[in-house]
Amino acid sequence: MTSKSARAVPQLRAQPELEHLELSFVPARLRDLRETDIPKLKSLKATLEDAAAIVPGRPVEEFHHISTPGELDLDEYFVRKLSLSSGPITTLVTRLHQPSDHDSVRGLLQVFACHLPELRHLTLTVLGKVSGQIKKRSDN
């Protein structure tokens, strides 16, 4: 879907059978969606802001994070929003742009374990100088 958010909400409301949604405009800002809109959504590819607005109350099982310039990294606030899916999130694909150290990555993994206990498939790409530190530590 590649339209302005004001026009996107009515289009999504008209798609009650929609199961997979990829929002390529960044960010869509779909805060006006009602809980009854897109009730069968299982898979979402979007920014964190859009996921926080869309996932709660819907049976989303798979989330692919589309990162945008200047967007915050996935943190506990957004993971809690994902945990509000009416179906368990089992697949998560995301990236961290500039984690401060390897402990912040380890902390995020603990947040996943706490709030997304049924997570089965995780792709976590770590960008920045800490990615080399994590690899060195795991090689020991």
Count how many Cα atoms sit within 13 Å of the Cα of residue 26 in the half-sphere of its side chain: 11
Most distant CA pair in the chain, distance: 54
The pTM score is 0.82
Facing residues of 94 across strands? 124
**Is the confidence at residue 67, as pLDDT, over 50?**
yes
Residue 3, pLDDT score: 40
On whether the CB atoms of residues 57 and 31 are closer than 8 A, the answer is: no
Structure tokens at 88: 């368990």
Facing residues of 95 across strands? 125
Structure tokens at 110: 């603990």
For 12-66, what is each residue's pLDDT tens digit? 889 999 999 998 765 666 767 888 999 999 999 998 988 998 999 999 999 999 8
Residue 124 has phi, psi (to 5 degrees) of: -120, 105
For 77-88, what is each residue's pLDDT tens digit? 999 999 999 999
